[in-house]
Structure 1
Amino acid sequence: MRLHYQRANPDVGGESLLLRFEDVVDDRVACLLVNSGRGVSVDELLDESRGEYLAGIIINNAHPEYYCTLGENVREETPIYAAPDTATILAEACSAPLRDIEHPDAILTQLATVDTWTQLVRGVQLHPLPVGHAPGAAGFLLEISEEADAHTLFVADECTIRRAAGYSGIGLDLPVAIDSLVLSGATADPFAPALTETLSIVCERAREDATVLVTADEPTGIHAAYLLGHLGKRLGSPFPITVTGRTATLCEQLGYSIPNVTRLPDAPPEKVLTPGTVAIAEPDAPVQGPAGQLFEALADDPEAAVLRLTRGVATPITAAQCMVQSFPWHNYPDPETLATVVEALAPVQVVLAERPTPEAERLHLPDSFVWSIDDDLVYTLYDGTDWVAPAEIDPDAAQHIRQRATAYHDEPTPSEYELSLPLPVRTGTIDFAAEGLDVEVIQERLLPAESPDGSWRHRAPNDEDVASHDANSAASSATNGRKTSETTSVDASLQALREQIDNIESVVAGQIYQASVVDAGDDVCLFRVQNPPASFEHGQNVSLIIDSAETLQTVDVSEQENGSEPSDTDNSTTDANEIV
């Protein structure tokens, strides 16, 4: 048997690869596509003149970029393998497609749920294993039998030790030996701090009685709803959460019962969007589907907040008065996690699919052969005799690794451990630390703003509050023997803060008008306002707010000396790169 590896889309998404099993099927090369992601074309990957054919497709998780080209690449009678809950999410996406999924009926017909050892071709079996990362996500352990020998390849993809919405992370104590471990590259930006920061902001906006819309793809929306619902219960001051669209349907199909969360798959915006609540809908870009409908309903509400949980580069949103923010939801392993996984599983060979823009240093794993691959060339992982080491590995070091692995891997075949292999299933209890969420940080961030009776809602400070704060500051300074200048500094800071709040309120109270920039020459710049109000008069002075990606400037517009009619606007704001 010879095993070859090729990345299927390294320059586009990087989530897909092709495995070629040579000499396991007479006169043919059985190929296994792992994820049908962005830009993947099976027609371009397979060389039918060499006898290559598509024996199966694996889908590791149900983020849309993992199956977006599945309809284009599925072949008649080619099974599509997925763990049970990933298969559920994928089937729902095909039953009522929001995105342009080709041939959804063929996908549903050939979708095969896998929860035990399943034969790919003669001599090759596969079994799902938990890997964390996303609800229902799974890696796949492949057992390759060759006469009396058995070899193992574990496609763990974007594994995490963290749980994901209750689903276990990758197991570090598997009862089987792993010969080759296939992983996605590490990220230099740890996920846990970003997760804590993102959910803190959601809680803060809900506490301030803002209408909050969280947009995300289905697995991410489920993940966020799970954590926010339990977080509200832990804080003791829950805020209502409504999950809508397919995300709501899937929460029910997957058996979630989350505190403070209501599922309304087909509810109109007025039933979902209310101050002090959080709505969660798909997709992450709110331009279509449930998220698009909800965004349209609150776009003109300056008190509302739209928080996008994105897995890639966030696309810009059209002009809106509501706040729109994007937060990366990159639940990937960091270098330390990958090193921990490799040390625990002790594979002979590690294959790292580097990301399009490598975000972390290459790992130093002295006890394994490490392939770091960032192109679409075909690499031989097993040559019929041994697991292959990269050319830069010293031959003596390679022999040492093989000897260590031979002694460690002298065990029965993996399929004999069927009853003891873990499955990607959800636990029944919440564990914030295991999810990577720091509840104490969120509590410290929220509690100082609570009212004295401990109520959840934030009460804006009035004049008495400010006077009391100033008096307390002065008394504290006197008690501690501090100088009067410290109190003066605090008073000045408070006054500056009040002035900033007044400026913001004046901007929010204005009207939005679109305007075009006109270069009149001689350093004269005019603004032609679309549909100007009747209240505009020639020579009138107004304030102009220019909102750009880099700065926000206030400009006083006066009568032009050359006699041209000025184009003025009221105070207004809009999205980045728009002129108002």
Structure 2
Amino acid sequence: MEVTFQHANPHSGHESVLIRLSGDVTEQTACILFDSGTDVDVDGLLGDDEYLTAIVLTHAHLDHYATLGTNLRDGAPVYTSEPTAAILDTVLTEAATNYDISNVDAVVDALEPISDWTTVLGDVELRPVPAGHTPGAAGFLIRFDDGGETRTMLVTGDWTQRSAAGFPGLPTTLSPDAVFLTGATNEEFEGELTAAVETILERVQAGSTVLVTASGLAGVHIAALLAKLDTNDIDPPSVSITGHAAKLYETLGYDYSTVTSVPTFDDPDAILEPGTVTIAGPEVPVEGSAAKFYDCVQDDPGATLVQLTSGSVSPVESAGCTVDRFQYSNHPPEAAVDDLVEDLAPRQVVMMHQSGPALSRYKDRYDSFVWATTDWDEYKIYEDGTWVAPPWVNDRVARRLRSQQYGNGSSLGSFIDTEGVLSDVERNEVSLEAEGLDASAFRTWSQQSTPYPPKLESSTQNTEPEFEDTDTSISKHFEEIESRLSRVEQSLTDKEKADSSTHEVQIVDAGDGTLLLRLLNPDAITRNLTHGEMIKIRVVDTSD
């Protein structure tokens, strides 16, 4: 039996790989393409006497399916997890309107969703396992029997050990002999995600109309997180998820009481409301649903635009509304990559989805044979019962690594012990902590925040509310009150409903991000005001 690999786009993403398995377990060489990313050309990879056995899609992100429609040949099926298969028609149809995606119907016809061990060719089998990263993402195990010994390999695709909208992260209880490992990392994801959710909540609490722009699956993720805030004793905001993201939300079976799914709409203004969240795509509001909503809010000083961007696009930097952006790139921190390799203890590690120094950092890093290459060469990693060392590793180093591999518990066939406990790619209950949100920060924030100011005693009683001193910057308070007062001023365009009387108020900085307006002469109000009541005021500049 012989196993080789060949990077399918080493200079254009490096996330796609062609694995060939040949020998007694197959009648012909099994040629399996894992992910069909940018610039992948199967015709150029396969020899004249080779046939494509299968394409395996790890998840529904563009950089992993960009050339899927152009690489269908030889009647090869497209294997993927059941959740990804369910949404792929919608994903590809949407992508075809904005990108050079072709043969959508042919791809859908070739789809074969799998959830358990599936025979690919001869005795070669595939099985998906959860991979975190995005809803429906999966890594894939490959196993074959050679001389009575079971050999296993794992292709991770993009992965995290965090959950993604309830879909579990990559398990560490596997023991593959070889792992094709995505080395893309992000040290800041959890902090960025926490900051994005906090910003959304703060602006909703301030009464702002909040527009969140994100890719389809990222929109599903953020909607699920906002809906589950009640597990941290925070009232979830009302959310409308729209367009492409709404279709994915429904197809994946999400149904939260605080989230309204609006796949199609005619009037964006009918969906946008103060104090609520609207989720639309794409991640920058230059086209699609996002552009329609942005047209409605970009000149509204009381509205907020929150962009969740992958880092590959240029976000909106400023507008008449408040503008924020956060990088949404769900990859593990570098330490998690090291921990995963230590837990899996494979003999072979083929690094993918990185280049330059980011790829070179993995060379000679583990007690495994590490392949950190960016060329088109075909490399042999297994032959006749032996996992082959890279050609640049001398015999002395190879013997040392093999000795260490046996010492750390790695052994041929060890994976078989975990067969009965493999996790399935299916959605569980969303846990904020498992998703990477800082739950302690949310608890602190919710205790310090309140959607309405506390009821004040009449100033005629000469009493003043007591507030705890904080280190919150004065500039942040001024920005907050400016935004709130701008919204109030704009909303007073309806002259028939506006109170014609004028009353002097004093701005009170209550700390913890709360600004209050104290009536200087409450006796002049002709009716009783109650705590929590929403009223309109007219702001007059008295600085002169």
Fold equivalence (TM over 0.5): yes
Q: Which residue of 2 aligns with 1:308?
A: 307
Q: Could you tell me which runs of 5 or more consecutive residues in structure 2 were left unpaired when the two chains were aligned.
A: 490-544
Counterpart of 1:185, as a letter, is G
Q: Distance in 2 between matches of 1:372 and 1:133?
A: 22
Q: Is 1:200 matched up with 2:198?
A: yes
C-alpha distance in 2, partners of 1:292/1:458? Answer: 34
Number of matched pairs:
481
Mapped contact 2:81–2:128 kept (Cα < 8 A):
yes
Amino acid at match of 1:325: D
1:12/1:356 contact within 8 Å kept: no
What's 2:163 paired with? 163
**What does the per-residue CA deviation read over 1:402-435, in whole Å, with 9 as the maximum and x for residues that have no partner?**
3565674354884x976532211122x3322221
| Contact kept? 1:230, 1:430, Cα under 8 Å | yes
Q: CA deviation at 1:183?
A: 0.7
- Greater relative CO (CA pairs within 8 A, separation 6+): 2
Pairing 1:263–2:253 present: no
Q: 1:275–1:504: structure 2 CA closer, same or farther, 3 Å change rule?
A: closer
Query: SS of the counterpart of 2:156?
Result: strand
Instruction: Tell me the CA shift for residue 58 of structure 1.
Output: 0.8
Instruction: Give yes or no for contact 1:117–1:418 (8 Å, CA) kept in 2.
Output: no
Matched, 1:287 2:289: no
2 CA distance for matches of 1:421 and 1:247?
30
**Using the alignment, how far apart are the partners of 1:278 and 1:364 within structure 2?**
48
Residues 234 and 446 in structure 2, CA contact (< 8 A), matched pair in contact too: no
Match of 1:81 among 79, 82, 94: 79
Q: Pick one of 66, 70, 73 that aligns with 1:72.
A: 70
Normalized against structure 2, the TM-score is what?
Answer: 0.78
Residue 312 of structure 1: SS of its match in structure 2?
coil
Question: 1:183-238: per-residue Cα shift (whole Å, max 9, x none)?
Answer: 11142524222221121112122112221121222221111111111125634332
> After superposition, where does 1:322-471 map in structure 2 within 5 Å?
322-353=321-352, 355-356=354-355, 358-359=357-358, 361-362=361-362, 365-393=365-393, 395-402=395-402, 405=405, 408-411=410-413, 414=416, 419-427=420-428, 429-445=429-445, 447-450=447-450, 456-457=451-452
Q: Please tell me the residue identity of whatever aligns with 1:423.
A: D
Between the aligned partners of 2:15 and 2:212, the Cα distance in structure 1 is 25
Residues 216 and 32 of structure 1: CA distance in aligned 2, closer, same or farther (over 3 Å): same
User: Residue deviations 1:525-551, cap 9 Å, x none?
Assistant: xxxxxxxxxxxxxxxxxxxxxxxxxxx
1:272: which partner in 2?
271
Give, as a single letter, the amino acid of the residue that structure 2 aligns with 1:326. R
The 3 A distance-change label for structure 1 pair 411 and 68 is closer
Residues 3 and 381 in structure 2, CA contact (< 8 A), matched pair in contact too: yes
C-alpha separation between the residues in 1 aligned to 2:107 and 2:418?
31
What is the Cα-based RMSD across aligned positions, in Å? 3.7
Give the conservation status (yes or no) of the 8 Å contact 1:55–1:120. yes
Amino acid at match of 1:432: L
The whole-number CA distance in structure 1 between the counterparts of 2:226 and 2:273 is: 17
Which segment drifts farther, 15-24 or 54-63?
Answer: 15-24
Provide the C-alpha distance between the structure 2 equivalents of 1:75 and 1:423, rounded to a whole number of angstroms: 29
* 1:553 matched residue in structure 2: none
In 2, Cα distance between equivalents of 1:368 and 1:354: 19
Q: 1:389 to 1:444 in 2, by over 3 A?
A: same
Q: Give the percent of matched residue pairs that are identical in Structure 1 and Structure 2.
A: 34
**Is 2:134–2:217's contact at 8 Å kept on the other side of the alignment?**
yes
- Superposed, 1:562-577 pairs within 5 Å as none
- Residue 104 of structure 1 and its aligned partner are, at CA, apart by 0.9
Q: CA deviation at 1:497?
A: 7.3
- Consecutive unaligned residues of structure 1, counting only runs of 5 or more, are 451-455, 477-486, 511-580
Kindly tell me: are residues 470 and 158 of structure 1, through their superposed partners in 2, closer, same or farther at Cα, counting changes over 3 Å? same
Counterpart of 2:153 in 1: which secondary structure?
Answer: strand
| Cα distance in 1, alignment partners of residues 463 and 358 from structure 2 | 49
The 1:74–1:297 alpha-carbon spacing in structure 2 relative to 1, beyond 3 Å, is farther
